[in-house]
Amino acid sequence: MEALLIYIAKSCSLMLFFYCVYYFLLRKETFFNNNRWFLLFGLIVSAVLPLLNYTRVIWIDAPALGNSIQSSLMEIPEKEVSTFNWSHTILLLYGIGFLAFIIKFAIDFYSLNSIIKGKKIQQQADFKFIDVSENIAPFSYFEYIVYNSSLYTSSELENIIEHEKVHSDQNHTVDVLISRLFSIIFWFNPIIWLYKKAITQNLEFIADSEAAKKLQDKKSYQYTLLKITTHENCVAITNHFYQSLIKKRIVMLNKNQSKKKNSWKYYTVIPALAAFVLLFQIEVIAKEKPQTIKETTGETKAVDIYKIHKGSTDAELSEIKNKLKEIHSVNFEVSDIKRDAKNNLTSIKVDVTRGKQQAQSIQTGDQTIKDFGVLIITDQKGNKTIGIQTFEDSKSSKAKTGVSNNITTLTSDDDSKKSTDSKIIITNNNQNTKIETNVNSNSNTSTKTNSNTNSTISTIVTTDDNDAVTKITTSNGKTNVAFSNGSSKFSNTQESPLIIVDGKEMPSTFDLEDLKAQDIKSMSVFKGINAVSKYGEKGSNGVIEIETRK
């Protein structure tokens, strides 16, 4: 809905701009044919230009992998308040107006067909003349020229026919239909009705000017214009001889030709359109540069992230596949691709393999996918570990049951490694996050999400052979924990949460650094209403429950 409103705002603004240029700069000039194409060009540009977007990519430094637990606890999502659905109301009102004008358009076509159908047609060159008995103003519709000869003298009829021949020969009916179509689509915009009137009036200026060149008596032609004003019945969606503002037509008929140097006025739209494109039609997309992580032991690891988002095209996915293969010798396969009407991804399955390492991400459902990326972690010795990283904000974790099922796994092929690694199991249930650590001799990292949510959690675990340094990062925007050299690093930059160790409430001066990583059996994080309902007002800043191995 927001995209539609933005499109309408841009389109209506362009229509207003072109109409103002015509009204203030071109309306009094005698460049009638140029004005015709200018007005039509304005309508087409107003409809098409807002749809054309240029994407510019800028590269930014990637943020740090971890934020403090405390910072994430402060990000308690606000309760959604049900409000009146204005989108449906606006669409309903627009639909009613659109349907009314469509019906009016159909009635006009029926009226036109009833006049032409069954009448005797006289073919002359490319024109089809129909002499009717109804008291209606003369009009032309494509090659048809309709009039009532009994109402005019021979000289008046000659003037009328010359005028209508110009309309028919130059296909002015197309202009009338285009302006009518735009007035139906943008019926709510008052500018389109002024724009439609300007197009119709300019077509009459063209026909008057061309017809007067072929007639010897220009005054007789002007008298014919005045006489036709007595006919009140006009057929819609046609070029009819009668038009209001007869005085303006006569004034323009007698006006001297405009000087060619005044044609500079048409070029005033160029800088304005260029500014419109630069300001509104260039979309800037920020992409993160590959990260380099330095651990506490001094070892440097490069982390390359190949991001996939809802707008990723098949060509971009193919480019990621080629880069992963060429640079990292990683096999990247995608399947189960589905897209919505806007060509955004709603379903995708990604399988990444390198030797015995496997990583997989599955997202399915009616909604667009959540951003995620393929992770390649390279250590100082050149060993590579693959994984999946998600990019999720706190609001998007409010998923509906059954919308999608995302699974991310990461396994290591280095079975010969003898260091003490950790196995991490993370479960996400609304605002609760639980992290359990168990000693395991093999390097094995697994991350999963609850099948009833729409978020994916990625975990990276690194271990140092000598110092048993373990680093855990969950990318669901909720929890980040780091254990280094047997100590837990914790930031106290905001109000401290309530800390419970083995069922006992710790004082506000308690420092998590007093706990060693190997002594922690499990850690649970509670936020928002869950924390308050369990611990009362003391849990308003969040609660961390820690169970030790002792």
Q: What is the pLDDT of residue 495?
A: 66
Cβ(424)–Cβ(435) below 8 Å = yes
- Confidence category of residue 63, pLDDT binned at 50, 70, 90: low
Rounded-to-5 percentages of helix, strand, coil across the chain: 40, 25, 35
Q: Are residues 393 and 540 in the same domain?
A: no
Decide if 79 is inside a domain.
no
d(CA 31, CA 379): 72
d(CA 46, CA 57): 26
Q: How does pLDDT run across 190-202, given as a tens digit for each residue? A: 999 999 999 999 9
Q: Are residues 195 and 293 in the same domain?
A: no
Which residues fall within 8 angstroms of residue 243, CB to CB, at 6 or more apart?
200, 201, 204, 249
- Confidence category of residue 83, pLDDT binned at 50, 70, 90: low
Residue with tokens 């982390």: 303
Cβ(173)–Cβ(141) below 8 Å = yes
Q: What is the mean pLDDT of the chain?
A: 76
Decide if 472 is inside a domain.
yes
Q: Is the pLDDT of residue 292 over 60?
A: no
Q: How does pLDDT run across 456-479, given as a tens digit for each residue? A: 333 333 333 333 333 333 333 333
Q: Is the pLDDT of residue 72 over 60?
A: no
Query: DSSP of 419-485, one letter per residue?
Result: S-EEEEEEEEETTEEEEEEEEESS-EEEEE--TTSS----EEEEE-TTT--EEEEE-SSS-EEEEET
- Confidence category of residue 3, pLDDT binned at 50, 70, 90: confident
Q: What is the pLDDT of residue 389?
A: 80
Q: Are residues 379 and 455 in the same domain?
A: yes
83-92, 157-166, 227-236, 435-444: which range is least confident on average? 435-444
| Backbone φ and ψ of 415, nearest 5° | -75, -15
Which residues fall within 8 angstroms of residue 266, CB to CB, at 6 or more apart?
26, 34, 38
Q: Is the pLDDT of residue 279 over 70?
A: yes
- Confidence category of residue 36, pLDDT binned at 50, 70, 90: very high
Q: What is the pLDDT of residue 361?
A: 86
d(CA 480, CA 458): 11
Q: How does pLDDT run across 372-404, given as a tens digit for each residue? A: 888 888 877 788 888 888 765 444 333 332 223
73-82, 145-154, 250-259, 523-532: which range is least confident on average? 73-82
Query: DSSP of 314-369, one letter per residue?
Result: HHHHHHHHHHHHHHH--EEEEEEEEE-TTS-EEEEEEEEEETTEEEEEEE-SSSPP
The whole-angstrom distance between residue 238's C-alpha and the CA centroid of its chain comes to 38
- Confidence category of residue 359, pLDDT binned at 50, 70, 90: confident
293-313: average pLDDT: 69
Q: When comparing pLDDT for 7 and 86, which is higher?
A: 7
Q: When comparing pLDDT for 444 and 274, which is higher?
A: 274
Q: When comparing pLDDT for 550 and 20, which is higher?
A: 20
Q: What is the pLDDT of residue 366?
A: 78
d(CA 204, CA 234): 15
Strand pairing category for 300-308 and 127-131: unpaired
Residue with tokens 């992409």: 287
Q: Are residues 472 and 532 in the same domain?
A: no
Decide if 74 is inside a domain.
no
Q: Are residues 542 and 466 in the same domain?
A: no
Compute CA distances 370 → 51, 249, 283, 349, 393, whole Å: 25, 61, 20, 12, 10
Q: How does pLDDT run across 148-191, given as a tens digit for each residue? A: 999 889 999 999 999 999 999 999 999 999 999 999 999 999 99
Structure tokens at 117: 């159908």
Q: Which of 480, 503, 531 corresponds to the end of one domain?
A: 480
Decide if 153 is inside a domain.
yes
Q: Are residues 234 and 144 in the same domain?
A: yes
Q: Which of 223, 248, 277 corresponds to the end of one domain?
A: 277
Instruction: Report the interhelical angle of 190-214 vs 154-169 (nearest 10°).
Output: 120
294-303, 366-375, 388-397, 541-550: which range is least confident on average? 294-303
- Confidence category of residue 362, pLDDT binned at 50, 70, 90: confident
Burial (Cβ within 10 Å: 0-12, 13-18, ≥19) of residue 498: buried
d(CA 353, CA 333): 9
Q: How does pLDDT run across 343-355, given as a tens digit for each residue? A: 899 899 999 998 8
Q: Is the pLDDT of residue 78 over 70?
A: no
Q: What is the pLDDT of residue 509?
A: 82
Decide if 65 is inside a domain.
no
Compute CA distances 288 → 283, 294, 307, 322, 390, whole Å: 16, 18, 9, 19, 13
| Backbone φ and ψ of 129, nearest 5° | -95, 135
Q: Are residues 517 and 410 in the same domain?
A: no
Q: What is the pLDDT of residue 244?
A: 54
Q: Which of 438, 464, 480 corresponds to the end of one domain?
A: 480
532-550: average pLDDT: 80
Q: What is the pLDDT of residue 141?
A: 94
d(CA 432, CA 527): 7
State how many domains the chain has: 3
Q: Is the pLDDT of residue 12 over 90?
A: yes
Q: Are residues 431 and 294 in the same domain?
A: yes
Q: Is the pLDDT of residue 205 over 60?
A: yes
Range of the domain at 44: 2-55+121-277
Structure tokens at 202: 């300019």
Q: Are residues 424 and 389 in the same domain?
A: yes
Decide if 326 is inside a domain.
yes
Compute CA distances 86 → 8, 131, 185, whole Å: 16, 53, 20
Q: Is 503 left (phi over 0), alpha (psi -120 to 50) or beta?
A: left
d(CA 188, CA 200): 20
Q: Are residues 241 and 310 in the same domain?
A: no
Q: Are residues 130 and 174 in the same domain?
A: yes
Q: Nearest-CA neighbor of 305 among 283, 284, 277, 328?
A: 328
Q: What is the pLDDT of residue 230?
A: 58
Q: Nearest-CA neighbor of 151 among 246, 250, 241?
A: 241
Decide if 325 is inside a domain.
yes
Q: Are residues 356 and 408 in the same domain?
A: yes
State the SS3 of 92-141: HHHHHHHHHHHHHHHHHHHHHHHHHCCCCEEEECCEEEEECCCCCCCEEE
Decide if 110 is inside a domain.
no
- Confidence category of residue 137, pLDDT binned at 50, 70, 90: confident
Q: Is the pLDDT of residue 416 over 50?
A: no
d(CA 538, CA 544): 12
Q: How does pLDDT run across 253-267, given as a tens digit for each residue? A: 888 899 999 999 999
pTM higher than the cut 0.85: no
Chain length of the chain: 550
